[in-house]
Structure 1
Amino acid sequence: MSNERSDVDLQVGRIARKDVISVTRDTTVGEVAQTMADENVGDVIVTDDDEVVGIVTDRDLTIHLLTDEHGTNVLSGESGVDLTAGDVMTEDPLTIESQARVPRLLHHMNQASVRRIPVVDDGNVVGIITFDDLVVHLAGESAHVAAQLESLADIIHAESPTSN
């Protein structure tokens, strides 16, 4: 039996979501929010000529629209109607190649304090990986390993001499 963890060699592209939702810089924040609601996602990628130039998360929208941090607090009477994805996006977001391994992904997520990373191949977006996706995958791996260990324990128990 190998001591290697099964997730170490796993490529990010195998667990990344392929259904990436993108908008342009000039998409209004209202349209961005509606797209997120319609698609049931917490982020959209901002592209310019198919190149990733930013990412807008539900957190970005909340901070820009509901706090005084950027001077656009809609609760204070600002309309926010003129804001676009380009105004609220995180520019030049961290990306990761689809061939990268899970430990590298975890390292980058931790270092950058991000929960979502676009997955790219040759500069083109091919997916997005979220911390939530990773947790679900690793939980499934843990359940699989636990089932294998239980099966091995049954074999050991069945083949072991009993003591009286």
Structure 2
Amino acid sequence: MIKIDSFLNPDWYVMRIATTDVVTCKKTLKIGDVIDLLLNSAKRIPVLDSKKRLIGIISITDVLNFFGGGRKHKIFPMGGLNQTVSKIMEKNVITLSGKTKIYKAIEYAKHQEKSVYPVVDGNTLSGIVSEFDFIKHINTETGITVGDVMTKKPLIIKPHYTLCDVAKILCRGAYRRLPVVENGVLVGMCTPKDILFYLKTSKAYGRLKYDKTEVRDIMNKNVTKIMPEDDIYSAISLMKPGIGGVPVVNEDDELLGIITKRDIMEVLAW
């Protein structure tokens, strides 16, 4: 385990590490307009009402669900890209109070399935804190290896899977990334952002269910990887924006597991 007080003061309030310059959107914003924000600014965006109160959060996965990855697609024919964010956003938002101490916030986050948590004062948004905010302050080797904490036997996909197949997997399981494996060897990674970018550039928003494009055509082939014997500090160093999990491979690029921000959070203690 890693003692929090070796890199953070656990009695600090969570606002000490939260991002205060938060990208937000109004509930009346059209889905067609929020796509650029999701692709260029943040993968999860707090939604505010006319009085700037937090009423929801929208993610890339919500948009994929709407375009054919899940049950929200049933409302697509009723307006398509002109539908408002309020129609598909997540309304039951898990939040933190700005006066929550860091050690309590970490313990709370360990029992949730979210990667970001809006920080609120009443219903007013004060900032946002992510899993990375909790671990990025670890600035030296820990003595804990990647192999000690990685997720073994992660869900994988094959290069021939269609984008619709993968979108359904991502929406059904709330996965943030999927390794693409062929004959046991890691050949790429696919994220919700990869699929949404394809839909935007090909203008195929309403045709995801019928699109036969395969994962091999849009996956990231230049994958950042790590070895199981590396210290988890090395994994944290690789987790820049856009990389929330790093595949773990052997010398032959055979996939052994994946290490995520959540995996590292699990070894934090006080």
**TM-score of the aligned structures, taking structure 1 as reference length:** 0.70
The answer for unaligned runs of 5 or more in structure 1 is: 147-164
CA distance in 1: counterparts of 2:4 and 2:96, whole angstroms: 23
> RMSD in angstroms over aligned alpha carbons?
2.8
Query: Which residues in structure 2 correspond to 1:87-126 (within 5 Å)?
Result: 87-126=87-126
Who is 1:41 aligned against?
A: 42
Specify the structure having the higher radius of gyration (Cα): 1
Percent of matched pairs sharing the same residue:
20
Whose relative contact order is higher, 1 or 2, with alpha carbons under 8 Å and at least 6 apart?
1
Query: Which residues in structure 2 correspond to 1:62-77 (within 5 Å)?
Result: 62-72=64-74
CA distance in 2: counterparts of 1:51 and 1:73, whole angstroms: 26
The one-letter amino acid paired with 2:121 is D
The answer for unaligned runs of 5 or more in structure 2 is: 144-270
Q: Do residues 131 (structure 1) and 128 (structure 2) align? A: no
Q: 1:83 to 1:110 in 2, by over 3 A?
A: farther
Contact 1:67 1:73 in 2 (8 A): no
Offset at 1:131?
1.2
Offset at 1:4?
7.8
- Normalized per residue, the structure richer in helix is 1
2:64 is paired with a residue of what secondary structure?
helix
Offset at 1:106?
2.1
Offset at 1:107?
2.8
The one-letter amino acid paired with 2:100 is A
CA distance in 2: counterparts of 1:51 and 1:78, whole angstroms: 27
CA distance in 2: counterparts of 1:4 and 1:51, whole angstroms: 32
**TM-score of the aligned structures, taking structure 2 as reference length:** 0.45
The one-letter amino acid paired with 1:100 is T
Q: 1:72 to 1:110 in 2, by over 3 A?
A: farther
2:71 is paired with a residue of what secondary structure?
coil
Listed one character per residue, the Cα deviations across residues 94-133 of structure 1 (whole Å, up to 9, x for unaligned) are 1111221122222332333111111122432111011122
Count of residue pairs brought into register by the alignment: 138
CA distance in 1: counterparts of 2:111 and 2:30, whole angstroms: 31
